Amino acid sequence: MLPELLTSIPGPRSKTLAAELRAHESRNVTYVSPGFPVFWDRAHGVNVWDVDGNRFLDLTSGFGVASLGYTPEPIVHATLDQAARLYHAMGDVHPTAEKVALCRKLSQLTFEKWDLGPGKAILTNSGSEAVEAALKTAFLATKRRGVLAFTGGYHGLGYGALTVTGRSMFRDPFSAQLADFATFLPFPDCQHCPFGATAREPAACLPECLNTFLVQTENLLRKGDIGAILVEPVQGRGGEVVPPGWFLPLLRSLASQFGALLIFDEIYTGFHRTGRRFACDRWMSGPTSSAWARRSPADFPSPPAWAAKKSWTRRGPNRPAKRSTPARSWAIRWGAGWRWPHSRCSKPSRGASAWKSWELTWRKACAGSGPPQSAGAGRAA
Ligand SMILES: Cc1ncc(COP(=O)(O)O)c(C=O)c1O
């Protein structure tokens, strides 16, 4: 349905609620100004209604969370059914069948599809946790504490994820408390070249950029302390920055050469948000990579998951990494309430909705109707 505006925006009820929120919520959470925000009341399909009865067209699909649209019937039913059957479980003690199905499907969808054997999943509560699970695995697998991350990269606000986030706005207030295991290199952004080139055409400055990047990265990796390379295949909050084509394959090859895990954070880009199932598919030939994260395609609270190729998860603290093994791990933002390493596995209803979301997304993609419609690559706030 087309938008229908009944009041000024934000409407009077939104304004009243904004004043109340300012009074009762920490001011560091919701941005409030005289013209913002609009308080939402409900949503369906591509439409959102605010508390003043105005109807909007959502061009962001909730930062890509609701890429199947709001309240798709099968997901609502799966959620309600599960809530009526079993709302809370101690999933790491008494798991559900849905958990098995979801983990198996994630493995089939990734490592098995890439002929790399089964993958193993950790279903987590947020993108930060998925990233942190990947970092922990890299450390356990390689025994090396260092992480190579990129300027402009965003990986979440938990202390671990913040440590590898290359955005001063988020890091600076807490820099005194952050650990020092991350080293940041410039993300190759052809529109704002970090190496000082002025040509906006990637081909024109390729050798300079690639060489500078290669030398910097090799010098860092040669020191032998880097156990993980963490990167967004397309930087989201960094400004929708698409790197040049050589970037990810080069990281893949350097990670393999120096025995580091290559972690792709696809929380922002995963599952069709860039037109491919994963953004990295655009550049990597096949399944040679790494770390994934995603938002569930439905709007039910849908926490993420992390998973790794089996051989990496087996390599615990007592199993030294083989330095020559190519690094492969991945994290998938998905649904279900499991934590790691001390999981409570709380909400089967989340698993049920995530499972249904996946089914719908996948069927839609397989039916040749193209990728599920994300209403737009809305830039996260
Ligand atoms: C690329 C990326 N990684 C990690 C995160 C953190 O996810 P969460 O906010 O669920 O912790 C985000 C959130 O926007 C993100 O865009």
- R_g of the chain computed on alpha carbons: 21
CB of 59 shorter than 6 A to ligand 1: no
CB of 127 shorter than 6 A to ligand 1: yes
Q: 144, 200, 105, 182: which is closest to 321 by C-alpha?
A: 144
Is the pLDDT at 185 greater than 50, yes or no? yes
Order of strands across the sheet that contains 119-123: 119-123, 305-309, 329-332
30 & 120 share domain: no
The DSSP bridge partners found for residue 241 are 235
Q: Tokens for 177, please give them.
A: 């408390």
Max Cα-Cα span within the chain: 64
The DSSP bridge partners found for residue 45 are 70
Give me the pLDDT at residue 202, please: 57
Q: 302, 282, 284: which is closest to 293 by C-alpha?
A: 302
Give me the pLDDT at residue 86, please: 92
259 & 143 share domain: yes
32 & 106 share domain: no
Burial of 375 per CB tally in 10 Å (0-12, 13-18, 19+) = middle
Highest mean predicted confidence (pLDDT) among 79-88, 157-166, 204-213: 157-166
What is the band of 36 on the pLDDT scale with cuts at 50, 70, 90?
very high
Percent of the chain with pLDDT over 90: 45
CB of 334 shorter than 6 A to ligand 1: no
Decide if 65 is inside a domain.
Answer: no
- Give the Cα-Cα-Cα angle 136, 140, 143 (nearest 5 degrees): 115
Better-scored residue on pLDDT, 258 or 208: 258
This prediction has a pTM of 0.76
Interatomic CA distance for residues 350 and 356, integer angstroms: 10
What's the domain range around 23? 12-59
Highest mean predicted confidence (pLDDT) among 297-306, 323-332, 344-353, 367-376: 344-353
Better-scored residue on pLDDT, 22 or 281: 22
Decide if 246 is inside a domain.
Answer: yes
Decide if 67 is inside a domain.
Answer: no
For the residues 86-91, what does the mean pLDDT come to? Answer: 84
* CB atoms inside a 10 Å sphere around CB 314: 11
Q: Per mean pLDDT, which range of 64-73, 111-120, 309-318, 357-366 is the poorest?
A: 309-318
Domain count, the chain: 2
Relative to beta strand 305-309, strand 329-332 is: antiparallel
114 & 16 share domain: no
Distance from residue 14's CA to the centre of ligand 1 (Å)? 27
291 & 226 share domain: yes
Q: Per mean pLDDT, which range of 4-8, 43-47, 78-82, 322-326 is the poorest?
A: 322-326
Burial of 16 per CB tally in 10 Å (0-12, 13-18, 19+) = middle
220 & 270 share domain: yes
25 & 86 share domain: no
For residue 128, give the CATH number of its domain: 3.40.640.10
**Phi, psi for 279 (deg, rounded to 5):** -60, -35
24 & 172 share domain: no
Is the pLDDT at 331 greater than 70, yes or no? no
Give me the pLDDT at residue 365, please: 46
165-178 pLDDT tens trace: 999 999 999 999 99
248 & 308 share domain: yes
Decide if 193 is inside a domain.
Answer: yes
Give me the pLDDT at residue 198, please: 65
Interatomic CA distance for residues 255 and 258, integer angstroms: 5
Decide if 4 is inside a domain.
Answer: no
CB of 133 shorter than 6 A to ligand 1: no
Instruction: Locate all alpha helices (DSSP H) within 88-201, ordered by sequence.
Output: 97-107, 127-142, 159-163, 168-171
Distance from residue 154's CA to the centre of ligand 1 (Å)? 7
- Are residues 278 and 270 in contact, defined by beta-carbon separation less than 8 angstroms? yes
What is the band of 277 on the pLDDT scale with cuts at 50, 70, 90?
confident
Q: Tokens for 283, please give them.
A: 């550049």
Average pLDDT, the chain: 77
Decide if 1 is inside a domain.
Answer: no
Q: 266, 281, 197: which is closest to 234 by C-alpha?
A: 266
Q: Per mean pLDDT, which range of 80-89, 191-200, 224-233, 335-344 is the poorest?
A: 335-344
Decide if 136 is inside a domain.
Answer: yes
- Name the helix (H) or strand (E) containing 308: strand 305-309
CB of 335 shorter than 6 A to ligand 1: no
143 & 277 share domain: yes
Decide if 25 is inside a domain.
Answer: yes
120 & 33 share domain: no
Q: Per mean pLDDT, which range of 19-33, 238-252, 263-277 is the poorest?
A: 263-277
Percent of the chain with pLDDT over 70: 71
208 & 334 share domain: yes
Is the pLDDT at 227 greater than 90, yes or no? yes
